[in-house]
Structure 1
């Protein structure tokens, strides 16, 4: 039975884990966790600024592209949350443009939403190999 580090750089050769069991990392794009079985989880928090673009009865933010802190090997599943930091009204996150290296988001809200500052949180789960 081979001995392996628990925490460190994960790696694989031909789909067989060869490095540590779990790897943690972060950069300007957020935090990531990689597991020896190929699972990867990326997390990020970002401020979208004010939602001032009127769209019928709704207001929305510009579309934003969030690069992942580590790329995936297949398009990941994304979960978003949004919190209104200022202003009033309910918020709803709409994702788009999910790729191996980034995801897009637009925030929408009701008529009293104009000028609200929104913080979004995302978790992306997928595979790194």
Structure 2
């Protein structure tokens, strides 16, 4: 663990990809130690898909979680990035299109809407916005 801490102090950024969207238990043991070290010593942290330790469905911190400056997620926003602890731990969230067919998203019944782009501004009548 001492070597990891020394390395973290030297790195300009850390990419967190320890756990993904399937995490369904408390983080413990060496994984908890690594997450705690990243949170203490990382200058800048980018999480892949969701910060390790955050439940992607509920946004609840599973014991401990990476505190990311940015999170790059794929396909669609995960609810856990937007609610509960996930909102704080995700930092700025970017959604990257990885060519998931719209039919697959529709088949899963995903209905998450965020305020990215023109939503909810697009719902307002033009004369209200002036």
TM over 0.5: no
Q: TM-score, normalised by structure 1?
A: 0.28
In terms of fraction of residues, the more strand-rich structure is: 1
In terms of fraction of residues, the more helix-rich structure is: 2
Q: TM-score, normalised by structure 2?
A: 0.28
